[in-house]
Chains A and B, each alone.
Chain A
């Protein structure tokens, strides 16, 4: 397996635009996590899914953020409208079980100007 695949690796967009980040988890993994990493706040859990169902979205900062997992092999994190303070590295991770190793993608570096 190629691991968790995220796209794009880098995204630069203007304030107010919609941004969609994509993630393909490792095949067979039933948990998927979205994290945001900034220098100021470190690594923050935004939302996670179990068997494609959102379980906890309490980390999603605002209604501007939404995440979907239409099937077991694909998830999106959307920001609409984007703001400069959303600039961060967004990581997707997947795991086989609730307490097993989480495998991270390489992240999407988002810059909102």
Chain B
């Protein structure tokens, strides 16, 4: 298909790990991105991974890339209430950046 797909909702308890999954479309995508949108705000780049990498870690964030399956995941360790937001997966295809619909992460105390 032509869409970047991700589940719409995820709910976790504070302190647990969150894993947000995404499948993308184009094996030639050079970069894959995770954006975060907090309530009432625009999207902001959270992290990205170059397509020749399998994993990238940045403090509490771990990005895993499975190019064979075109699967991207974002793991947030020790999830906090401040992590509640919508998380968007995105891929770059030539000059076009395609976003998934976003996963709304709710963190319960």
Contact = CB atoms under 8 A, between A and B. Distances in A.
B7 to A, nearest CB: 11
Contacts of B97: 33, 45, 95, 99, 102
Interface residues of A, number: 23
Contacts, number: 53
Contact of A56 (B8, B33, B96): B96
B42 A106 contact: yes
B101 A42 contact: yes
A45 B45 contact: no
| Contact-residue size bin, chain B (C-beta under 8 Å from the other chain) | 20 to 34
Interface in B53-89: 88
A57 to B, nearest CB: 12
Interface string B31-46: 1010000001111110
Given A41-B101, A43-B88, A43-B99, A98 B94 contact: yes
> By DSSP majority rule, is chain B's interface helix, strand, loop, or mixed?
strand
A105 B8 CA distance: 23
A99 B90 CA distance: 11
B95 A102 contact: no
A41 to B, nearest CB: 7
Interface of A: 4, 31, 33, 35, 41-43, 45, 48, 50, 55-56, 91, 93, 95, 98-99, 101-102, 104-107
28 contacts: A4-B42, A33-B97, A41-B101, A42-B101, A42-B102, A43-B43, A43-B88, A43-B99, A43-B100, A43-B101, A43-B102, A45-B97, A45-B98, A55-B95, A56-B95, A56-B96, A91-B42, A95-B97, A98-B92, A99-B92, A99-B97, A101-B45, A102-B43, A102-B97, A104-B42, A105-B42, A106-B40, A106-B41
Given A98-B92, A102-B45, A104-B44, 19 more contacts: A31-B95, A33-B97, A42-B99, A42-B100, A43-B43, A43-B101, A43-B102, A45-B96, A48-B95, A56-B95, A56-B96, A91-B42, A93-B42, A99-B31, A101-B48, A102-B97, A106-B40, A106-B41, A106-B42
